[in-house]
Amino acid sequence: MTLRIGLVGCGNISDIYLINAPRFPAVRFVACADLKPEAARRQAETYGIEAVGVSELLARGDIDVVLNLTIPAAHAEISLAALESGKHVYSEKPLASTLADGIAIVEAARARDLRVGSAPDTVLGAAIQAARQQIDAGTIGRPVLGTGAVLSHGMEHWHPDPTFFFKPGGGPVFDMGPYYLSALVNLLGPVRSVQATGQIAFETRRVTTPHSPIRGRDIPVEVLTSVQALLSFESGAEITFLASWDVWRHGLRPLEIHGTEGSMRVPDPNWFGGDIEIAIGQGDWETSDTSDRTFGGANWPQAEPRFANYRGLGLAEMASAIEAGRPHRANGDVALHVLAVVDGVIEAATTRKSVTIAQRCERPEPLGEAEAARLVEGGRR
């Protein structure tokens, strides 16, 4: 059976979901809505679906799953309303902009026996799954320590309206942290506790995005823009995580994990593919390409593909799990755990005290190549 999707939030990220939709036979986009009716109309015309109002979409009987691609501050409002109207929800990250809202979403779904799914689904991509296969096989031994780093000079030079990035629920830890933390939770299991420091390097950020309607405007910064955290995993592994929008240039790898037998470099978890590098003992790095696996080949940007971008994979995997009556992988418990870690990092950076993570999750099942291939069987490449 194909699940019928209603999309709420027709902004920047909605294109890739709509472009990828025909790959996945488990989902069919029916209608879309946005606070700005013209945004919904534009996507409806481009992708051949129906544009409706938000409350109309939530009330419709021919929609099974609400795909919530609104800004983080609206995630809880839309996800809770969708659950109340008896629909499953799949949300962009973070699950919510506060931990309390995230808990409310997961509890509301549980009470109604509905599913919550959440990005990032890059963890189901070829690279993270290939890395996980190696970790599970014991190739680098027991993971002991490592680093994660997401460092840049912000979002105000490319996003049409970067305001939300600098408001509560934004900042590099809330915005980019979920990619790195979800990858680490898939690779190493849940986090037990966190310590952190943080700062704001610039009190305002000037929008320089070409053609932005707010180009030239100064956005007051209300969130930590540079954070350095120490994540202690239940497994015993300890990872240093750096997240900043105050850095001009750097030489750090996105993710490096060092085990008792060897070391591993995992590519940027914002994408679905990339090379895995492994060094055993004193040996040299050996690179394995993941582009020949399902969800590893470059497809983005469309004109000149350089990255694997299969956003929507987590939604399709959730739809097929609903159909099969089994748990889905990019699930609400993982997203809530990641949100608790994000929130815990900010709390630890603010109070300078260690924070224990109360919302734990199970490490999701790996997504093997055969099962991954089945998700696109019969779909349009």
Ligand X SMILES: NC(=O)c1ccc[n+]([C@@H]2O[C@H](COP(=O)([O-])OP(=O)(O)OC[C@H]3O[C@@H](n4cnc5c(N)ncnc54)[C@H](O)[C@@H]3O)[C@@H](O)[C@H]2O)c1
Nearby residues of 101 by Cβ (< 8 Å), 6 or more positions away: 75, 76
69 is a contact residue toward ligand X (CB under 6 A) = yes
Q: In this chain, which of 7, 32, 67, 78 binds ligand X, going by CB under 6 A?
A: 78
Measured over all CA atoms, what is the biggest interatomic distance in the chain, rounded to whole angstroms?
62
Q: Which of 77, 238, 268, 275 binds ligand X (CB under 6 A)?
A: 77
By CB under 6 A, residue 39 contacts ligand X = yes
Q: How many residues bind ligand X (CB under 6 A)?
A: 22
> Which of residues 159 and 360 has its CB atom nearest to ligand X in the complex?
159
Four-residue CA torsion sign, 84, 85, 88, 93? negative
Give the nearest residue (CB) to ligand X: 11
Looking only at residues 82 through 111 of this chain, which bind ligand X when binding is defined by CB under 6 A?
92-93
- Residues between 48 and 67 with contacts to ligand X, criterion CB under 6 A: 54
By the rule CB under 6 A, 223 interacts with ligand X: no
| DSSP per-residue letters across 126-190 | HHHHHHHHHHHTTTT-SEEEEEEEEE-S-STTT-S-GGGGGSTT-HHHHHTHHHHHHHHHHHH--
Which of 20, 43, 70, 98: binder of ligand X (CB under 6 A)?
70
43 binds ligand X (CB under 6 A): no
Helices 177-188, 332-351: axis angle to 10 degrees equals 120
How, if at all, do strands 27-33 and 50-51 pair? parallel
312 lies in the binding site for ligand X (CB under 6 A): no
Q: What's the residue count for the chain?
A: 381
Nearest distance in Å: CB 165, ligand X:
8
Q: Does 8 bind ligand X (CB under 6 A)?
A: yes
According to DSSP, the β-strands at 3-8 and 65-68 are: parallel
- The piece of 10-18, 130-138, 227-235, 332-340 that touches ligand X (CB under 6 A) is 10-18
Burial 125-148 (b: 16+ CB within 10 A, else e): bbbbbbbbebbeeeebeebbebeb
Q: Which is nearer to ligand X, 77 or 347 (CB)?
A: 77
Which residues bind to ligand X, rule: CB under 6 A? 8-13, 34-36, 39, 54, 69-72, 74, 77-78, 92-93, 161, 175
